[in-house]
Amino acid sequence: MHPQPRTTEPKRNFRKPPPTQQMHPADIKAALQKKGSSQAEIAHRLNKGTQTVSNVVNGRSTSRLIAQAIADELGLTLDEIWPGRYPAKG
Q: What is the per-residue pLDDT across 51-62, written as a single tens digit (0 to 9) for each? A: 999 999 999 999
Question: Burial of 26 by CB count in 10 Å (0-12 exposed, 13-18 middle, 19+ buried)?
Answer: exposed
Whether the predicted pLDDT of 24 surpasses 70: yes
Q: Which of 66, 35, 72 is nearest to 49 (CA)?
A: 66
> Which contacts of 66-69 are long-range, i.e. CB under 8 A and separated by 24 or more positions?
66/42, 69/42, 69/45
How sure is the predictor about 88, in pLDDT bands with cuts at 50, 70 and 90? confident
Domain extents in the chain: 25-81
Whether the predicted pLDDT of 29 surpasses 80: yes
Q: Which CATH class is domain 25-81?
A: mainly alpha
User: Full-prediction pTM beyond 0.85?
Assistant: no
Task: Find out whether 65 and 56 touch, Cβ atoms under 8 Å.
Answer: no
